[in-house]
Amino acid sequence: MRASLLLLLALARALELPLFPLRKAPRCPTDRLSLNLFEPRYVALAERVLASDGVFAGLHCEGPHVLPRGRGPATPLVAEGGVGSVFAVDDWERDGSVVRIAARAFG
């Protein structure tokens, strides 16, 4: 893993930043991110972000998040040289059981 990824993980732990696994990684610090969250664990994580200062970490994860035919737990894999950023929420909305978040990267 790159030093920057290790630093992001250490920062997320030290500041207790919620950490979202991302399929698409931002390419530069000014990139924007849109999340449509519907899984209960990610909705709960989003509610934690929104109840606090609106800052969270995102980590690009490789591989499938859902195993074939839904068997077994899905564990995102962090590839060597992975990419991560810290984000700030710009806007959000809740539509039933779905939470939509618009955020910008700043790290």
pLDDT tens digits for range 50-73: 998 898 888 777 655 555 555 555
Q: How far is CA 96 from CA 19, 40, 45, in A?
A: 23, 12, 16
| Mean pLDDT value across residues 32-46 | 91
Q: Does residue 80 have a pLDDT over 60?
A: no
Rg of the chain in Å (alpha carbons):
14
pTM to 2 decimals? Answer: 0.70
- Rounded to the nearest 5 degrees, what angle is found at the Cα of 99, between the Cα atoms of 96 and 100? 125
* CA–CA separation, 74 and 77 (whole Å): 9
Which residues, listed in sequence order, are joined to residue 92 by a DSSP beta bridge? 101
